[in-house]
A and B are shown apart, each in its own frame.
Chain A
Amino acid sequence: MMLARLTTLVRTAPRVSQLPLPISARVPLLARSKATKASDSAATSLQDRHVSFPGATFGSVFTEKMEFISDYPTIPTYRVLDIEGKVIVEGQDPKLSKEECMKIYRTMISLNQMDMIMYEAQRQGRISFYMTNYGEEGTHLGTAAALTSDDVIFGQYREAGALLYRGFSVQQCMHQCYGNENDLGKGRQMPVHYGSKALNIQTISSPLGTQLPQAAGSAYALKREGKDACVVCFFGEGAASEGDFHAALNMAATTESPVIFFCRNNGYAISTPAREQYRGDGIASRGHGYGMHTIRVDGNDVLAVYNVVKEARRIAVEEQKPVLIEALTYRVGHHSTSDDSSAYRPKKEVADWMKQDAPINRFRKYLEAKKWWSEDQEQALRKEVQTAVSHLFTDVYDELPWNLQEQKAKLDALMAKYPEQYDTTGHAKTKLS
């Protein structure tokens, strides 16, 4: 990496006079008048090698070797479990309690079951839209388990597992997807746009990447309050191409705000493969450019994600610095119910991921090895989990301005005049208010 290179240059600086270059090429222009003899050049140039331009990073030195930087080491991917669920290096096991592990696993299964039911509900026309979380359960649960309830969550839309873990119930998800009278969002947004003030989960919106700079701002607010809390902001590798990503990371770094940027790199943005999204070393390689603590993690390894987020949270809260995490995973499901992913990727590719490395399976094997889980319990849990509309005008502002009062009156009158055109049987009995 760049850091390594600069360190090397600093170290070799005193030996620069040994380089087989003509003195005129070795001594910076400004220093030439002082260093007329070769014997002076080492001492003089040592002082003059440090770059003093105001935009230069501390430690930057001059070089006379013209070298474009093009060959970067690839950032490794941290893992704890192998695909058989075995801990590879014993010291890396976070040794979560049985209770914590069971909460994580139960939430994974709940999410999985909810996805199956809601996906079908959409196929039957019962809800208008849905997005599943298949294959990415590890990123959600590993993150959520490492946070406290004071930490603010900003999501993109494919993080329902993190919300469930925090206490956003399956029932509440259903209310939102159906846009019924119990929906906290009052039925205004498309399905899967969840949010809850009580649970510190900022309401999800469709425009991609917009939550990133917002997360930086919220983190700055937490810092000003002196809170023992941070902000976690989820986003996909596609959203990282938005300008808001750049704005957010740069602002979080310069304002030293306690925010964890958590990228779910699942290989696809709808149909666009990561190869067409960027040419650098994924998203993680950008962290260094912003001067930010950065790590890449195996997103299908819930314990690795847990460890990484736990430490990132410590850095954010204790050191008041932002952190970038890139979790590599695979989007097993279609992008949404409006997408058929077989149009742009082979079905076998998906099947292979499901078969070989589903995060739920990997964690289940870990639990089974500890004798904390069995096939019977699995069947029982899946069964248990399975059994388990009217505000058009309000909240545009805190109060209804005259134009909205008039427009509401017009709609009320129209509905009274043409009741057959405005069937309200699917809505709660309260009047439009």
Chain B
Amino acid sequence: MFVFRASTFLSRSRSSVPSFGSRIGLQNPQRYFASSAEGSPPPAEGFMQGVATSKFIKQTKEQCLSHPELAAVRNSETVKMNYFTAVNDALATALATDEKAVIFGEDVGFGGVFRCTIGLAEKFGKDRVFNMPLTEQGIIGFGIGMAAVGHTPIAEIQFADYVFPAFDQIVNEAAKYRYRSGNEFNVGGLTIRMPCNAVGHGALYHSQSPEAYFAHTPGLKIVYPRSPIQAKGFCLRLFPKILYRSAVEQVPVDDFVLPLGKAEVVKEGKDLTVVGWGAQLYVLENAVNEAEKRMPGLSVEIIDLRSILPWDRETVEKSVNKTGRLLIAHEAPHTGGFGGEIAATIQERCFLKLEAPISRVCGWDTPFPLVFEKFYIPGMIRCMDEIEKIMKY
């Protein structure tokens, strides 16, 4: 099963069959919902829409470097990178600046099935970028062991769907290592990267968003970069794989670090707060664009949560106190999803300011299906419709 899954994706990225990126439509951006400004109805498709035209993507050097979080690299050059190139750049920086940093996982040696580690073994040596036997529990246990003696292991799980064999090592071991030893030992140097989110045709085991399972685990930090800049700045954790080729933006050449635990208000508004993370941000952007067109005068604030654990309650709370309404959207199933945690906390903190029930648009409570993907995901239409309902409440 595992070999099959790897080779499936290998053949895609190597052949002339449209890859994830081109399938999304980099060559024909008129298919995007964003192009419906010209009057065509939005497609209810099951894959990523509008990334290339997103306002959240930094198209120019000036847009990129004007961001306050990038003040430290204000004088840096920028270069156009897609998501996997940015991950590669971040990994190269980690290896170059930390002699104790190593990268390992399944198939990372030749560059990875998503090309994130391409060229690194050649540049930094096979003792620093190497293949592991096909064992997720082993990979994470190995990483814990390296970190426990002061090294900086960066472990890759090929798909977030396959992290569950390592659940014990992550939840019972990595997360509790510092606490249970009274800080005699810690594995703070360990980073686990895993591609997640829907991809159009990934079905049950190439589409999952498992963040909520881990959010229930004190001791972990969970980060969800939405763009190449974030992919480089965070250099870790859950990576929406649909963006690997499709998200292209200007990224500072110099080394920089983005703050963990901080959300980003990517669009300001006054009537409704919309919260999402990862690839869902682009769905929300489109949904909000359409809703604001349909309801003249509507002004929606969009927040990219970025960190799931610890999450930035303050930013969300401040926003909802201003708007009085909250919509949370994530690809993962509704019941037990992280949206529930946000909803419960904001209800507790903003009770007197809320003018409508907090709403969640999520994946249905089913496994992630193949041919029904477009009916499953919390896509643009579902999000837009929910915005209308909230505003009419």
Contacts and interface: CB of A to CB of B under 8 A. Distances in A.
The answer to whether A and B belong to the same complex is: yes
B133 A250 contact: yes
A106 interface: no
Interface in B123-177: 127, 130, 132-133, 135, 137-138, 140-151, 153, 165, 168-169, 172-173, 176-177
B184 A217 contact: no
A229 B181 CA distance: 23
B103 to A, nearest CB: 13
Contact of A247 (B133, B261, B310): B133
B148 A218 contact: yes
Contacts of B219: 396-397
B310 A403 contact: yes
A219 B145 contact: yes
A221 B179 contact: no
A237 to B, nearest CB: 19
B144 A214 contact: yes
A401 B261 contact: yes
Nearest to A223: B127
Interface string B165-205: 10011001100111111111110100000000000000000
A220 B150 CA distance: 12
Contacts of A238: none
B346 interface: no
A221 B168 contact: no
The size bracket of the interface on A is 35 or more
A431 to B, nearest CB: 17
Contact of A197 (B137, B169, B185): B185
A172 to B, nearest CB: 12
A115 interface: no
The size bracket of the interface on B is 35 or more
Contacts, number: 148
A108 B182 CA distance: 28
B181 A203 contact: yes
B179 A224 contact: no
A216 B6 CA distance: 25
Contacts of A218: 145-146, 148-149
B218 interface: yes
Given A207-B173, A210-B168, A250 B145 contact: no
Given A220-B146, A224-B102, A213 B169 contact: yes
A251 to B, nearest CB: 5
A162 to B, nearest CB: 17
Interface string A175-192: 000000001111011000
Interface string A281-325: 000000000000000000000000000000000000000000000
A396 B185 CA distance: 12
B179 A207 contact: no
Given A220-B146, A391-B182, A395-B183, A210 B133 contact: no
Nearest to A193: B180
A397 B151 CA distance: 18
A394 interface: yes
Contacts of A398: 178, 186, 188
Given A202-B148, A395-B178, A213 B137 contact: yes
A86 interface: no
Interface string A364-405: 000000000000000000000000000100111110011110
Interface in B94-138: 100, 102, 127, 130, 132-133, 135, 137-138
A299 to B, nearest CB: 25
Given A185-B184, A214-B142, A398-B178, 20 more contacts: A188-B179, A197-B184, A197-B185, A213-B141, A213-B144, A214-B144, A217-B142, A217-B143, A217-B144, A217-B148, A218-B146, A221-B150, A244-B168, A244-B169, A250-B138, A255-B142, A395-B183, A396-B179, A397-B221, A401-B261
11 contacts: A185-B184, A207-B173, A217-B141, A217-B142, A217-B143, A218-B145, A218-B146, A244-B168, A248-B138, A251-B142, A395-B182
